[in-house]
Amino acid sequence: MRLDRFVSKCTNMGRAQATKLVRKGNVEINSSKVNNPQTKVKLESDTVKLNGELLEYKEFIYIMLNKPQGYICSTKDDKHRTILDLFPEKISLREPHSCGRLDIDTTGLVLATDNGKWSHKVTSPNKKCFKTYIVQSDTPLTKEDMQLLQEGVLLDGEDKKTLPAQIRELGECEYELKICEGKFHQVKRMFQAVNNCVLALHRSKIGNIILDNKLKPGCFRELTPYEINEFL
């Protein structure tokens, strides 16, 4: 990869600014100053420093966020705060998108990346990736309601039933629901379909990736290589 592109990618500065810094002699490859922005960087073996600081190249970023209430998952909105507002500039400038959306009032696990192929594997209905939600309902579900939700219910405005889901009771009016689709307001509409109402919704797991319990609402961390591998 060309040095100017490498510096620009690692720092999120524009290519022109990166080129300027290389020309000015602020960049070293393997401890030797390099002034030519077209110099090739070997990604596997070269060590590149900018003003003496090691640059770490990442082709893509992968993030786990504990979304608090009051934020939306789209990346641009005039009225609401978006998940990008929760990231430092170093990350938000790469414009990671969320892999499936949570409503403004839903909390919990959001995966975000700038790798479109990876997010497609998380969200595509064909991949049958289960998302786990903790649901607080208005009133207790009956055995029949739970059976219906498990088998599939017809959502308002749809002509096909939801795919089979898994549900178990956690406490009074508290349920764990696993679904492998991501229809608009799906969980809330599923509960509506059995004449109930969701009072609070939290996503705890996507596929095998579990929300890190060390992450307070609004906090995030990068995914581990093991977690990234789940959807590669």
Contact footprint for ligand URA (CB under 6 A): 102-103, 106, 185-188, 201
The residues with which 161 forms a beta bridge, in sequence order, are 154
For residue 203, the minimal CB distance to ligand URA (Å) is: 7
Closer CB to ligand URA, residue 63 or residue 206? 206
Question: Could you tell me the maximum CA-CA distance found in the chain, to the nearest angstrom?
Answer: 72
Closer CB to ligand URA, residue 86 or residue 187? 187
Encoded tokens for 41 = 């960087």
For residue 105, the minimal CB distance to ligand URA (Å) is: 8
Encoded tokens for 36 = 């030519």
Closer CB to ligand URA, residue 21 or residue 86? 86
Residue 166 in 3-state DSSP? strand
For residue 98, the minimal CB distance to ligand URA (Å) is: 11
Contact 102, 203 (CB under 8 A): yes
Is 103 a known active-site residue? yes
Catalytic residue among 46, 103, 114, 212: 103
Pairing of strands 166-171, 174-179: antiparallel
Of 69, 60, 63, whose CA–CA distance to 110 is shortest? 63
Catalytic (active-site) positions: 103
